Homo-oligomer: A and B are copies of this chain.
Amino acid sequence: MVKKFIDEESGKVVEEKVMNAITIDCVIFGFDQGKLEVLLVEHGSGISKGKWGLPGGWIKEDESIDNAAHRVLQELTGIEDLYLEQLKAFGDPKRFPLGRVITIGYYALIKKADYDVKAGFTASDAKWYTMDQVKDLIYDHNEILSYSLKHLRNRVRQAPIGFNLLPEKFTLLQIMQLYQEVLNIELDKPNFRRKILKMKLLVDLKEKEKNVSHRAAKLYKFDPEIYKQLTDKGFNFEI
């Protein structure tokens, strides 16, 4: 690991405390068949070869951290527009075995049904894991993952971000199952319907789901514009 560096102007070696290696690591959440999933990658080389971890990368000199995260995700998944939010920085001096590396954790929510996320992966393998399938990850990635889940559980109740895990068009039951899974709670169907419809946040698409072996449910979509108008009027999303 790098420990000394050169000051460009003076040419002298500068104290090592100023500089740090810094990376991005991203928790990519998906939702499939009622289960919350996370996308992990297998490391193809280096000391952690064969182990699984969060997808990540370096921050370039001329890009913002958010841009770096977007770029890394775009390279990995091919998806341009996804929900992406910074979690926090993780910087235990021993988190990376070969030296001091600070990482900035992000989490992303993607509409798994609408994309083939693994398209962008090349050398290393990538795989979806349900939360209880996740075992030992490299470095402190288990900590980052559990922190992000905790964070997601808070955020999902305060802001309408859960929709980013569902297809563009969804049924009320799908949202409810999403909340049940993410928050690990049981919800009452009629009560949940009433609560979410009363917000007047969802657009009734006047369509019904197809190819289901039961009575087809109405399809809705989430409209960010409507949400903005509501919040401007003082509306506060809460589940």
A100 CB contacts on chain B under 8 angstroms: 61-62
Q: Is A49 part of the contact surface with B, judged by Cβ < 8 Å?
A: no
Whether, in the assembled complex, A186 has its beta carbon less than 8 Å from a beta carbon of chain B, the answer is no
In the complex, the count of this chain's copies comes to 2
A149 to chain B, nearest CB (A): 17
Min CB distance A217 to B, Å, is: 31
Smallest CB–CB gap between A103 and chain B, Å? Answer: 10
Contact indicator A64/B93 (Cβ below 8 Å): yes
Return the contact of A20 from the options B1, B22, B87 (Cβ within 8 A).
B22
Name the distance in Å between A106's Cβ and chain B's nearest Cβ.
10
Q: How far is the CA of A20 from the CA of B16 in the complex (A)?
A: 11
A215 to B21, CA, bound (A): 59
Contact stretch, chosen from A2-10, A40-48, A201-209: A2-10
Least CB separation from A66: chain B residue: B91
Q: Say how far A78's CB is from chain B's closest CB, in angstroms.
A: 23
Q: Which positions 83-98 of chain A face chain B at CB distance < 8 Å?
A: 86-93
In the assembled complex, the Cα of A62 lies from the Cα of B95 at a distance in Å of 11
List residues of chain B with CB within 8 A of the CB of A8. 1-4
Chain B contacts of A58 at CB under 8 A? 17-18
Instruction: Name 10 extra pairs, CB < 8 A, besides A6-B13, A17-B60, A88-B89.
Output: A2-B8, A2-B14, A5-B6, A17-B59, A18-B58, A19-B21, A22-B102, A61-B93, A63-B93, A88-B88
